[in-house]
Structure 1
Amino acid sequence: MGDYGRLLNRIKGGLYGVAVGDALGGTTEFMTPHEIKEKHGYLTEIIGGGVWRLEPGEVTDDTMMTLCVAEGLLVNPDDPREAIGTRFIEWYGTKPKDIGNIIRQSLRNYEGDWFEAAFLAHMDLGQSAGNGSLMRCLPVAMAYTDLKDIERISRMQSKMTHYDERSGEACVLYNRIAYRLLHGEPLADAVRRELQGTMYEDLLHSEPNCEPGGFVVHTFRWVIHLVLHSSSFGEIVQKAANLGGDSDTIGAIAGGLAGVYYGYDGIPAEYAEAILVKERLETAAVRLLELRLSRM
């Protein structure tokens, strides 16, 4: 496999990783570990169902908004805010089954200025430190080769719906890890190098001391724990699904990093083949790679 093939394998793996973690975890979202064990034993198959009554292989907002970001970047990589926003609005118009409260409020508030809409949502709800911008930010690391661009666009796409700086900071940290993985660094090394000196540094030595919920800090803590203490793509997304709580989003975020590291070839075939939006994922992967190469 040449350089093109290796990079495509990582980019495609990352996008499919988001979708697989989302589809697998969608079955157990809002459940407790005890409820999951009683109903499913230990969930390892993409079976749909759950609170959203998903079809097997159907994805939720995590994957669909990731595709919105990817496709918006491709339209105008230098200033993608409006292109991304247009796709957010189009997706919202499809009446999706699953949409987070912060994102819903931001979309309702939008009247031409995304940052104003996010600020108003923050004021309306009293907080905006959710994981909804983190779940969709991975395409930024795939599209750009300059870390300054990755950091700038990661923050920008976050601020479109999540005014709280903690959401933007998590997006930057996550995409810095993805940047390292795309350059071939080992997963544990990439995570450790980026966590040093941050509020998440303790995770290098201890387990999360929080519930697997939608608060971005808690979500990110579980994502880091899963990728540091698993030895395969399948193990990471299965552990995420069996956490319950915000399992689809934690699975999507952890699955994205795992997919970049292990590559599409490292995702079990039965998982990848089950995903219903394969065509959009395939197209986005090739076009993101082409954009990346054009900017080198």
Structure 2
Amino acid sequence: METRQSQVLAGLLGVCVGDALGVPVEFTTREERLRSPVTTMQGYGTYNQPPGTWSDDSSLTFCLAESLCQGFSLDAIAESFCRWHDQDYWTPHGIVFDIGMTTAAALRRLRWDHVSPLDSGGRDERSNGNGSLMRILPMAFYYKFLEFPDLIQRVHQVSSITHAHLRSQMACGIYISIAIRLLEGDDPATAYFKGIKRIQKLYNQPPYTSELDNFARVFNGEIAQLPMEAIQSGSYVVHTLEAALWCFSTSTSYSQSVLKAVNLGSDTDTTAAVTGGLAGLYYGVEAIPQDWLDQIARKDDIVDLAKRLAVSFKKSKHLEE
């Protein structure tokens, strides 16, 4: 149980610390970051928030994780997301200061139109921001309790609450497949190779085949060989996935991974959160600089959440629909 709890905590804090590093410089350009790179936790900047403040990326990750403590229920997960938006639940300082347009539209459909979570997410091609990828990591912790195709189906459903286009679902599936290999103890290169190989068996069939070209650079297994100039770091889900895999695959520590992500510029918090989830799983909590951890808002609550989620996976209810 201690091992599982430490993995859960490493994943959650990995996301959160990366997110908090990126918040003060979100929307800044790569040129700005190259001239003045982020090297440690700082504050204020884009949202005028104190150091250690995390954004919607972490808030929705924590909402998902807490919902999973009671078993898997799409309705409960969707309700948790709405509670964050409407009641400032799982925010660092009691206020929502950042939300993506696709996520906001989906939550309006849930709250105002009373649609089901399977029908709330955007399905058009323009609804392929990174808003579901940034919060999907807690689903990886199901890997010992569900058959892989069943787990990926649930990953797709959780994405679809806000981002229902196949491309967003598949980005989440690829990410979780790689995260599972890290949980199994693989090194980054092996986790990447085995993760994409395993998920390709699911995606090399309709309806997913229509989207495979969009993931060509991920599936060719050579992300790490690309120069930084070939990596984009905006909010498009494929670019975020590529950037996170590049940062993680070309680094040798947690801090190097997430700082590299932040210093790509643009959607700094989400790129670093998605990168940080993988880096946290691989390098562990002990690899996250202590002075960064000490500044994280509500750190004790996050530690408690990780403990509750780890304990909850012993319960048979997780295998229920």
Same fold (TM over 0.5): yes
Contact 2:224/2:250 (CA < 8 Å) preserved in 1?
A: no
Contact 1:74/1:288 (CA < 8 Å) preserved in 2?
A: yes
Measure the CA separation in 2 of the matches of 1:67 and 1:101: 20
Measure the CA separation in 2 of the matches of 1:189 and 1:165: 26
What residue is the counterpart of 1:51 in the other structure? 46
Q: Is residue 2:303 matched to residue 1:282?
A: yes
Measure the CA separation in 2 of the matches of 1:14 and 1:83: 22
What residue is the counterpart of 1:239 in the other structure? 260
1:27 match: secondary structure: helix
Count of residue correspondences: 285
Query: What are the superposed Cα offsets for residues 46-75 of structure 1, whole Å, 9 maximum, x if unpaired?
Result: 112222112111110000000111111112
Q: Is residue 2:189 matched to residue 1:188?
A: yes
1:75 match: secondary structure: coil
Q: CA deviation at 1:144?
A: 4.3
Q: CA deviation at 1:27?
A: 1.6
Gaps of 5+ in 1: none
What residue is the counterpart of 2:243 in the other structure? 222
What residue is the counterpart of 2:223 in the other structure? 203
What residue is the counterpart of 1:137 in the other structure? 136
Query: TM-score with structure 2 length normalisation?
Result: 0.83
Contact 2:70/2:312 (CA < 8 Å) preserved in 1?
A: no
One-letter amino acid of the structure 2 residue matched with residue 113 of structure 1: S
User: Measured at CA, do residues 291 and 266 of structure 1 come closer, stay the same or move farther in structure 2, by a change above 3 Å?
Assistant: same
Measure the CA separation in 1 of the matches of 2:23 and 2:298: 15
Contact 1:122/1:163 (CA < 8 Å) preserved in 2?
A: yes
One-letter amino acid of the structure 2 residue matched with residue 18 of structure 1: V
Query: TM-score with structure 1 length normalisation?
Result: 0.90
Alignment RMSD (CA, Å): 1.9
What residue is the counterpart of 2:161 in the other structure? 160
User: Measured at CA, do residues 281 and 61 of structure 1 come closer, stay the same or move farther in structure 2, by a change above 3 Å?
Assistant: same
1:82 match: secondary structure: helix
Measure the CA separation in 2 of the matches of 1:149 and 1:11: 21
Measure the CA separation in 2 of the matches of 1:13 and 1:44: 21
Contact 1:237/1:251 (CA < 8 Å) preserved in 2?
A: yes
Query: What are the superposed Cα offsets for residues 149-182 of structure 1, whole Å, 9 maximum, x if unpaired?
Result: 4212211110111121111111111111111111
One-letter amino acid of the structure 2 residue matched with residue 105 of structure 1: A
Measure the CA separation in 2 of the matches of 1:156 and 1:277: 29
What residue is the counterpart of 2:118 in the other structure? 115
Query: What are the superposed Cα offsets for residues 126-157 of structure 1, whole Å, 9 maximum, x if unpaired?
Result: 62111110010111112442223421221111
Measure the CA separation in 2 of the matches of 1:89 and 1:44: 34
Q: Is residue 2:10 matched to residue 1:21?
A: no
Identity %: 34
Contact 1:48/1:56 (CA < 8 Å) preserved in 2?
A: yes
Q: Is residue 2:101 matched to residue 1:101?
A: yes
Measure the CA separation in 1 of the matches of 2:56 and 2:37: 24
Measure the CA separation in 1 of the matches of 2:187 and 2:312: 24
What residue is the counterpart of 1:175 in the other structure? 176
One-letter amino acid of the structure 2 residue matched with residue 106 of structure 1: A
Q: CA deviation at 1:122?
A: 4.0
Contact 1:9/1:265 (CA < 8 Å) preserved in 2?
A: no
2:119 match: secondary structure: helix
Q: CA deviation at 1:204?
A: 4.8
Measure the CA separation in 2 of the matches of 1:185 and 1:266: 17
Measure the CA separation in 1 of the matches of 2:173 and 2:313: 18
What residue is the counterpart of 1:65 in the other structure? 60
2:120 match: secondary structure: helix
Contact 2:178/2:196 (CA < 8 Å) preserved in 1?
A: no
**Residue 10 of structure 1: which of 7, 23, 35 is its match?**
7
Contact 2:5/2:310 (CA < 8 Å) preserved in 1?
A: yes
Q: CA deviation at 1:42?
A: 2.1
Measure the CA separation in 1 of the matches of 2:71 and 2:196: 31
Measure the CA separation in 1 of the matches of 2:235 and 2:248: 18
Task: Point out the more displaced range, 50-59 or 19-28.
Answer: 50-59
Gaps of 5+ in 2: 89-94, 201-214
1:213 match: secondary structure: coil
Q: CA deviation at 1:194?
A: 2.1
Measure the CA separation in 2 of the matches of 1:177 and 1:33: 27
**Residue 81 of structure 1: which of 66, 74, 84 is its match?**
74
